[in-house]
């Protein structure tokens, strides 16, 4: 269908339109806007120019005007692929990917072979993980442009991600065949070609391995050995494939070769080597290789391995591997995880002696990992002290004291801390501090002292100690961050911001800099501090900022879709895509989402007043007062509008002056200089002013919608985390969706049936349903399953009978449930917490004792008696006064 007459530009304007396109691509937006306006003077209804004008305005932060121009352009020319493409680009810039995809597909109906639109569509399809659509689009692009390496590789990746392994391998083979026949170039230079060929071979091998055919993958790996440049990666892949096939002797030799190449401290190689020695099956091997940190088979599978198997691994480390590199720290540390008793003591002695001589501050953490590797929770002092390995560590720490008295004492401090003996630890740390003169060492000791003071309940003294450590080395970002965290915990938010601001750009607001740096830990700590203070607006502000960071992390994938394929870093590209698939289940996002849900539920239960939201409350005013307040509000609003208008006029005047100066400069220096100046101006652009620093606008949002938004995001991205379902339950119960609330609890029960949070919520909904007399059969059936077929009162009684074996958090939960269900009197219920609570698990932490005091006060229990017990245990804590 031919375009309308008013949509065809004359020759001069058509040339000018090409300039508009070029200026947009070179980011010369002001010049592009000027050229578009020239065309529209003579052709005001030209759709494509209106669309391009809108696109340029969008990148000049004039969004409303931009959308208006694009829609007007589409209205004038619905059959223009340019208009639809531009509309898609604007949606993409706004991160509205699904609408952008719709626009691209509409553009392709008009011009089905447009390569630029197809490329843009494929980017959004991989971004949104529409893998079948991505594969189809990349196939079409490859057929349209078979002479480009990029198109072949991108299509192979699309087939791989879509699970079509045979097709992916076939595409790579076809491409390599064309390169070998000189029909296509691998790269421009020989050096780059060698790298690209090496990466492509390793990527093909990765596909063959994931296809589940390790024999074929190994055969291919051996074939391409001469072409692979990264010999370390080649050996690691070979060893992995050999273990998967049960070729344990060959695999052992391969991983040994990796150790010989210097990878003695790489624990992935240790995991592979031990798997070969232990002859693990493919499934267990895969599980072991997915582990992180210093975990190895003999540390994580210790209870399932026989003594003969563990001895076999230890003998290899003591014999074969020591010959490879007798100085390796890992070769000495790894076998300790499989030892016990006298053998452990014999080998641990020289290991500790060496590190004590060097004065290694982290020795305590390293040794305690030996206890944790046996499945002992380090948060439980009684379990730690009862473990035989801990007794050996304590004994050696005492015997080796003459080696280096100060650092041996510091090790004792760490052991006292893990046992919950904070006062003894503080006494010893003062001895250590008195023996050092070096500022760096003193800083480490003061930091440990601060930690002990915090655990003792004296957060103010802890802040003073850690700040003293910071003063010794003001260039140390770590200790600065630690000081900031302690200040936030102490409720000194302004001082915390000033402290962390020492490591931000001084010419701008530290809060803005920290947001730009995506400093999530600080925002979470600040949000937590504000939440505890009751400043819900500021807390929400920080939690939403963290959510925005994760949106940015997801958006950052766009930087890699083209770059990695062009640079042929294909394995790394697939790894980053898989990482991004799980980025939303990071602990920082979970904390932020849960915090936001808690804030909005608090607002639902405690609606903010008009004054809290920065508005006037007219309900309590007389008619005269109301009239006066409204007049004052109008006056204030008018004054604000006048101020904004004056600022806007001043800004426009300044821009006009700059434009005039640039026009003069263009005549003198030429176009390139102007574009360079424009880029510099863009870089110097000040950050946008935060119009809602107190988070009042966030507080005005509908709490139910916001809670459901965060809860649904958690359910989508973090279904394997119990907090997802506990918070979803809180939202469902508050909105009276009892069926979904029971469903959420059943999901939580599948993940952790022994969760204290789950118990509390089961009691809450059980009592809620009974109190309301709910007759819904589905709800009652699900609830009966949760309660184990008994009444809610009997459910609580059964747990109350076993209270003597429960930790402090469980005691509090049971006590609150007893009071809620009226199973016993408040006085009798208080005894659940008070009698034996201070000696129970978890009572070594001040925070748990504070929560217990709050629980007692909440249901009217004897919190004074509990506080008296806590004062005796935590003499420094002021919170129990």
CA atoms within 13 A on the CB side of 316: 21
In order of 18, 166, 370, 391, 842, the CA distances from 848 in angstroms are 69, 56, 27, 27, 7
Q: Which residue in 859, 857, 853 sits closest to 879, CA to CA?
A: 853
CA atoms within 13 A on the CB side of 701: 21
Q: Average pLDDT, stretch 325-344?
A: 91
Structure confidence by residue, pLDDT tens digits, 698-751: 999 999 999 999 999 999 999 999 999 999 999 999 999 999 999 999 999 999
In order, the DSSP letters of 615-649 are S---TTS-HHHHHHHHHHHHHHHHHHHHHHHHHHH
Using the predicted structure, report yes or no on whether residue 646 has a pLDDT greater than 80: no
pLDDT value at position 3?
63
Q: Which residue do the tokens 């100085």 mark?
A: 327
In order, the DSSP letters of 182-226 are TSS-S-SSHHHHHHHHHHHHHHHHHHHHHTT-HHHHHHHHHHTGG
d(C-alpha 535, C-alpha 218), whole Å: 60
Label residue 344 by pLDDT band (50, 70, 90): very high
pLDDT value at position 664?
60
Q: In 3-state terms, what secondary structure has residue 381?
A: helix
Q: How many CB atoms lie within 10 A of CB 105?
A: 15
Structure confidence by residue, pLDDT tens digits, 653-707: 666 666 566 556 555 555 455 555 555 555 445 566 778 888 999 999 999 999 9
Left (φ > 0), alpha (ψ -120 to 50) or beta: where does 271 sit? alpha
Supply the angle between the helices 267-278 and 231-244 in degrees, to the nearest 10. 30
pLDDT value at position 666?
53
**Are 389 and 338 within 8 A, CB to CB?**
no
d(C-alpha 217, C-alpha 209), whole Å: 5
Phi, psi (rounded to 5 degrees) for 211: -70, -10
d(C-alpha 710, C-alpha 693), whole Å: 21
In order of 617, 632, 635, the CA distances from 624 in angstroms are 14, 12, 17
Q: 316-350 burial, b for 16+ CB within 10 Å, e for fewer?
A: bbeeebeeeeeebebbbbbbbbbbbeeebbebbee
d(C-alpha 663, C-alpha 671), whole Å: 10
**Are 121 and 109 within 8 A, CB to CB?**
no
pLDDT mean across residues, the chain: 90
This prediction has a pTM of: 0.89
Structure confidence by residue, pLDDT tens digits, 60-99: 888 889 999 999 999 988 999 999 999 999 999 999 999 9
| CATH architecture for segment(s) 5-112 | Alpha Horseshoe (1.25)
Q: In 3-state terms, what secondary structure has residue 795?
A: helix
**Are 294 and 267 within 8 A, CB to CB?**
yes
Contacts (Cβ under 8 Å, ≥6 apart) of 264: 324, 325, 328, 330, 331
d(C-alpha 199, C-alpha 202), whole Å: 5
Burial class (CB in 10 A: 0-12, 13-18, 19+), 386: exposed
Using the predicted structure, report yes or no on whether residue 601 has a pLDDT greater than 80: yes
Instruction: Retrieve residue 728's tokens.
Output: 């979803």
Length of the chain: 881
Burial class (CB in 10 A: 0-12, 13-18, 19+), 100: buried
For 578-694, list the strands marked E by DSSP: none
In order, the DSSP letters of 730-763 are HHHHHTT-HHHHHHHHHHHHHH-TT-HHHHHHHH
d(C-alpha 807, C-alpha 810), whole Å: 5
**Are 524 and 591 within 8 A, CB to CB?**
yes
Domain ranges of the chain: 5-112, 145-229, 230-337, 339-435, 807-881
Q: How many CB atoms lie within 10 A of CB 472?
A: 16
Q: Average pLDDT, stretch 406-421?
A: 95
d(C-alpha 174, C-alpha 301), whole Å: 44
């Amino acid at each position: 269908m031919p375009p309308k007459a008013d949509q065809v530009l004359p020759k001069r304007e058509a040339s000018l339109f090409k300039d508009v396109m070029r200026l947009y691509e070179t980011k010369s937006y002001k010049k592009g806007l000027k050229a578009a306006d020239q065309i529209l003077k003579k052709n005001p209804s030209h759709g494509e120019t209106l669309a391009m004008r809108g696109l340029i305005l969008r990148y000049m932060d004039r969004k409303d005007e931009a959308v208006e121009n694009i829609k007007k352009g589409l209205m004038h020319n619905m059959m223009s692929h340019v208009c639809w493409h531009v509309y898609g680009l604007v949606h993409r810039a706004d991160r509205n990917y699904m609408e952008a995809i719709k626009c691209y597909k509409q553009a392709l109906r008009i011009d089905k072979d447009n390569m630029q639109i197809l490329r843009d569509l494929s980017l959004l399809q991989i971004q949104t993980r529409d893998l079948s659509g991505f594969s189809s689009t990349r196939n079409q692009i490859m057929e349209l442009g078979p002479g480009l390496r990029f198109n072949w590789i991108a299509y192979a990746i699309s087939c791989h991600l879509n699970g079509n392994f045979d097709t992916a391998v076939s595409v790579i083979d076809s491409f390599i065949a064309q390169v070998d026949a000189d029909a296509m170039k691998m790269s421009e230079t020989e050096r780059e070609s060698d790298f690209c060929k090496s990466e492509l071979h390793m990527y093909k091998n990765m596909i063959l391995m994931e296809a589940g055919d390790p024999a074929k993958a190994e055969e291919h790996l051996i074939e391409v050995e001469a072409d692979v440049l990264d010999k370390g990666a080649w050996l690691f892949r070979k060893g992995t494939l050999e273990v998967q096939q049960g070729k344990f002797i060959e695999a052992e030799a391969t991983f040994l070769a990796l150790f010989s190449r210097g990878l003695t401290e790489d624990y992935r190689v240790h995991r592979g080597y031990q798997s070969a020695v232990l002859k693990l099956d493919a499934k267990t091997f895969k599980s072991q290789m997915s582990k992180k940190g210093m975990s190895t088979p003999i540390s994580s599978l210790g209870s399932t391995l026989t003594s003969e198997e563990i001895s076999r691994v230890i003998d290899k480390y003591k014999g074969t591997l020591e010959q490879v590199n007798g100085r390796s720290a890992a070769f000495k540390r790894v076998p300790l995880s499989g030892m016990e008793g006298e053998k452990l003591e014999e080998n641990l002695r020289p290991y500790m002696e060496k590190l004590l001589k060097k004065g290694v501050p982290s020795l305590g953490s390293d040794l305690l990992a030996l206890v944790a590797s046996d499945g002992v929770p380090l948060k439980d002092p009684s379990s730690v002290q009862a473990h035989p390995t801990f007794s050996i560590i304590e004994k050696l720490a005492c015997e080796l004291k003459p080696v280096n008295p100060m650092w041996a004492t510091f090790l004792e401090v760490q052991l006292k801390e893990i046992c919950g003996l904070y006062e003894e630890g503080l006494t010893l740390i003062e001895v250590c501090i008195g023996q050092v003169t070096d500022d760096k060492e003193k800083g480490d000791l003061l930091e440990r002292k601060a930690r002990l003071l915090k655990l003792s309940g004296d957060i103010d003294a802890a802040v003073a100690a850690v700040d003293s450590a910071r003063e010794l080395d003001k260039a140390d970002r770590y200790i600065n961050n630690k000081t900031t965290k302690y200040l936030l915990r102490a409720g000194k938010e302004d001082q915390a911001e000033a402290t962390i601001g020492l490591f931000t750009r001084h010419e701008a607001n530290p809060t803005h800099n920290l947001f730009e740096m995506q400093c999530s830990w600080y925002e979470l700590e600040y949000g937590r501090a504000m939440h505890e203070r009751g400043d819900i607006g500021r807390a929400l502000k920080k939690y939403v900022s963290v959510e925005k960071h994760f949106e940015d992390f997801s958006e950052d994938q766009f930087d890699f879709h083209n770059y990695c394929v062009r640079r042929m870093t294909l394995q790394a590209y697939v790894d980053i895509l898989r990482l991004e698939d799980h980025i939303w289940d990071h602990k920082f996002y979970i904390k932020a989402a849960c915090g936001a849900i808690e804030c909005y539920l608090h607002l639902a239960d405690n609606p903010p007043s008009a004054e809290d939201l920065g508005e006037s409350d007219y309900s309590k005013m007389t008619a005269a007062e109301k009239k006066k307040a409204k007049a004052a509000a109008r006056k204030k609003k008018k004054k604000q509008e006048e101020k904004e208008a004056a600022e806007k006029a001043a800004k426009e005047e300044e821009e006009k002056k700059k434009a005039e100066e640039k026009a003069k400069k263009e005549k003198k220096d030429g176009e390139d200089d102007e574009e360079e100046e424009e880029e510099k101006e863009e870089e110097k652009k000040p950050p946008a002013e935060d119009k809602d620093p107190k988070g009042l606008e966030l507080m005005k949002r509908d709490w139910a919608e916001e809670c459901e938004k965060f809860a649904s995001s958690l359910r989508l991205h973090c279904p394997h985390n119990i907090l997802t379902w506990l918070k979803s339950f809180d939202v469902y119960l508050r909105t009276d969706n009892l069926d979904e609330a029971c469903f959420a609890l059943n999901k939580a029960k599948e993940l952790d049936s022994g969760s204290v949070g789950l118990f509390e919520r089961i009691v809450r909904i059980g009592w809620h349903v009974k109190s309301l007399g709910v007759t819904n059969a589905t709800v009652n059936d699900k609830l009966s399953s949760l309660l184990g077929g008994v009444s809610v009162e009997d459910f609580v009684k059964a747990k109350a009978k076993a209270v003597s074996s429960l930790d402090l958090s469980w005691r509090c939960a049971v006590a609150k449930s007893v009071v809620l269900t009226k199973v016993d009197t408040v006085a009798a219920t208080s005894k659940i917490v008070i009698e034996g609570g201070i000696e129970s698990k978890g009572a070594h932490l001040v925070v748990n004792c504070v929560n217990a005091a709050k629980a007692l006060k909440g249901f009217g229990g004897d919190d004074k008696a509990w506080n008296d017990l806590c004062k005796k245990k935590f003499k420094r804590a002021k919170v129990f006064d």
